[in-house]
Structure 1
Amino acid sequence: MTIKPNRTRERQRRIRVAALTTGKRDPSARFRIRQHIGALENFGIDVTEHWPVIDKHAGLPSVIADHIPGFTRNFFNTAWFIAKMSARIPGLASTYTSDLVWLNRELTVGKYTLERFITKPFILDIDDAVWLAKPHGVRTIDTLGRNACAVIAGNDFLASWFAGKSNNVHVVPTAIDTDRFRPDINHVRKNNKFTIGWTGSGGNLKYLYAIEPAIKRILEEFDAQILVIAETPPKFESIDPRYVSYCKWSPLSESEALRDIDLGLMPLPDNDWTRGKCSFKMLQYMSTGIPVVVSPVGMNVQVLARGDSGLSAESVTDWYEAMKALITDRQRCTDMGEVGRQITLEHYSNEVISKQLANIIHGLKQN
């Protein structure tokens, strides 16, 4: 069933959804839920997002943690946990006047807590292998999956974990804003060197460091550069700093900085955590018209199979050969970038994914 906007019947069929998300700046909240709110209004679905004033992943503030005696740490950690739980209460209260609840992962990392007070049917939205979180991730996500009226999983690997736990599981990829992440022929680059790029959180730079020997060899042989977009600068062990450019990540700077990249990298090890990733970094490159070299892990394999948008690499030698193949064939880079852009428009754009979400939500309401 395809849901099409019909404004003449809006008042009769509007669905009120309370979205309980992880935090204001959290990527999962921004890309899985927040970016769809406006589009869903056109399908008669009113989503009100409630993020906690204290981010779900926030640790004890350093101004406290760095100055408290060791024997009081448990007390302050408990007090901080209570404060984080209290920050969830306004959002939970809002669920009583909604038709559905859209739960962005669990409320607390690795723990089943205030979810028991959700009295309305809820959708569990998962875009990482969050059951791996300590201390009780498996039990927490298992309980939520069984209690949810539907599970929305970001890829097939995540969806498969819920087999036997939910009979209503939908695979919905993380959408890319193809208007923001797009090629720009008028963009003025900072220099004309071939630029290899990587974007992501500082905590994931370890994946980039794993292929540092291959990157170093490419940069030196071809006098290229690497641009890293993250909230913290990279700390390469062997790459000469003159080959490295850094752009501090922000929601506004990322899309502009990507236009300075000729080739996007997404290296990953192969394990349960990385198989749960939803290829968002890869899709950002592709939407911007950038060819990719990625690890053939999880959803990356499915995205590559949609068309000739890039190459896969496993060993350090593979990474060197893949980057060399593209840096020495600029026309191939251009062609792959165009294919990647088309793939994102057809399969992963906001427009496509918002319609998919609307169909799911309307189906739940009808049931």
Structure 2
Amino acid sequence: MKFIFISREGKENAGARLRAYGWAKVLRDRYNLDTEVFSFADNLGGAAGVNEGNFGAYDKLIIAARSITTLIKYKNPCCFIINRINYHSFPVSMICKLKRINLILDVDDWEAKDLSRNRSFSFSEYFMKWLAKKSIFCIGASKFMVDYLKKYNNKTYYLPTGADLTCFRDFPYSDNENNKIVLSWHGTINREENIAEIKLLADVFSLLMKRGLGSLVELRIKGGGFFYKDVVSILKNMKVEYITIFPWSKWQDIPPYIKNIDIGVVPLKDSIYNMAKSPTKIFEYMAMGKPVVSSCVGEAENIIKDGVNGMLCRNKEEFVDKLEELIENKQKREKIGENAYLSIERNYSIEVVVDKLYSILRGNGLV
């Protein structure tokens, strides 16, 4: 049986890098399975991540049409493992039906974007339900997504994205040269709610300044995407000192960037998107042995044990209080960071996740 991992994103993007390229490699190396990755971004030139905002419907149609000439060449016995629901899902489902190829649906993000426009009907959500029903089984990266998909396919399994620890070293905590504690947020800024989340972070940082912590701390924001310029403008108008915003860069630059920060901060709006998604930022900070302070939303609540391997907050005031505690207590920062790394190593490393995936494949008679 050949397993083809299909993603609209490329190796630069966390979803494809881990749940397609990463899973395919570990299955091949550890279990000698025949695996391959077909990326609409890497193989066909489709846009993804920070560049996706300018990728129009016509562009997607052309890429989708081009994909058919490659996908139709696959022959049974094989299995398509499709990551997420988007324009790439349609040609894949067509080929599966035409050639009776096994299909597995893997969802680590909410991409029924029509709902954000308050429409009563979302075609993308309807298609996700239909594809879930047609799949041998489904995989959800969050407990929310598992519960959702189980309504349409009882064979739905929980596999968080986790992290590839080979990209991070064990306990890399080190003081910064300017002796300031560096708070950090990084990621794509392609949704309006990202603007609200970063503004909340800036408000929290402003309150920390008012508590007299300006000489101890700075905030770094590293991002890119459709609303990047809006965020730059908002932060400039807020006129809060010691906030620096950096443009997005290649994935290879992210681990060194995280190495040189002290606390990861992940404010999350209570939305269906954040309930469904896999929290890549949280996994990356934890894999680098950094303490994370996150909103108590979605998967964060399942991954973080408050005060043990991270901190959870329900409002702005809790963010300020818990960040102040970590800023002033180096020993606690280091202990939580150490526990965070151990959580990844024991429960969320890519090897641990793929071992579970292999067991699922075997349990469904595919290996």
TM-score by length of 2: 0.83
Q: What secondary structure does 1:48 align onto? A: strand
Q: What secondary structure does 2:62 align onto? A: helix
Alignment check: 8 A CA contact 2:171 2:289 kept: no
* 1:308/1:322 CA distance change after superposition, 3 Å: same
Q: Which residue of 2 aligns with 1:355?
A: 355
Q: Which residue of 2 aligns with 1:89?
A: 68
Q: What secondary structure does 1:151 align onto? A: strand
Instruction: Say if 2:272 is the partner of 1:272.
Output: yes
CA-to-partner distance for each residue in 1:171-225, whole Å, 9 max, x for gaps? 0000201121335649784532110011111333541212322112324622211
CA-to-partner distance for each residue in 1:24-69, whole Å, 9 max, x for gaps? 233211121211222111213221111121426576968xxxxxxx
Alignment check: 8 A CA contact 1:212 1:239 kept: no
* 1:79/1:316 CA distance change after superposition, 3 Å: closer
Alignment check: 8 A CA contact 2:13 2:251 kept: no
* 1:190/1:246 CA distance change after superposition, 3 Å: farther
**Aligned pairs for 1:173-322 within 5 A:** 173-183=160-170, 185=172, 189-203=176-190, 204-219=194-209, 221-222=212-213, 223=215, 224-231=217-224, 235=232, 236=235, 237-240=237-240, 242-244=242-244, 246=246, 248-305=248-305, 308-322=308-322
Q: Which residue of 1 aligns with 2:158?
A: 171
Distance in 2, matches of 1:186 and 1:284, equals 14
* 1:107/1:298 CA distance change after superposition, 3 Å: closer
Distance in 2, matches of 1:227 and 1:19, equals 35
Q: 1:283 deviation in Å?
A: 1.2
2:105 to 116, 119, 124: 124
Instruction: Say if 2:74 is the partner of 1:105.
Output: no
State how many pairs are aligned.
338
Counterpart of 2:64, as a letter, is: M
Alignment check: 8 A CA contact 1:198 1:266 kept: yes
CA-to-partner distance for each residue in 1:293-339, whole Å, 9 max, x for gaps? 10001111111138701211122222111111111111111110011
Instruction: Say if 2:35 is the partner of 1:47.
Output: yes
Counterpart of 2:297, as a letter, is: V
Cα RMSD for the two superposed structures: 2.6
Alignment check: 8 A CA contact 1:263 1:290 kept: yes
Distance in 2, matches of 1:147 and 1:305, equals 37
Distance in 1, matches of 2:61 and 2:189, equals 28
Q: 1:163 deviation in Å?
A: 2.3
Bigger CA radius of gyration: 1
TM-score by length of 1: 0.83
Alignment check: 8 A CA contact 2:197 2:269 kept: yes
Distance in 2, matches of 1:183 and 1:333, equals 15
CA-to-partner distance for each residue in 1:132-171, whole Å, 9 max, x for gaps? 5465122100110000001011011001111231121010
Q: Say which is worse superposed, 36-45 or 178-187, in terms of deviation.
A: 178-187
Q: 1:258 deviation in Å?
A: 0.2
Alignment check: 8 A CA contact 1:56 1:84 kept: no
Counterpart of 1:16, as a letter, is: K
Distance in 2, matches of 1:159 and 1:186, equals 35
1:162 to 133, 146, 149: 149
* 1:332/1:104 CA distance change after superposition, 3 Å: same
Alignment check: 8 A CA contact 1:219 1:243 kept: no
Q: What secondary structure does 2:238 align onto? A: coil
- Structure 2: gaps of 5 or more residues: 116-121
Percent of pairs with identical residues = 18
- Structure 1: gaps of 5 or more residues: 1-14, 63-76
Distance in 2, matches of 1:247 and 1:258, equals 15
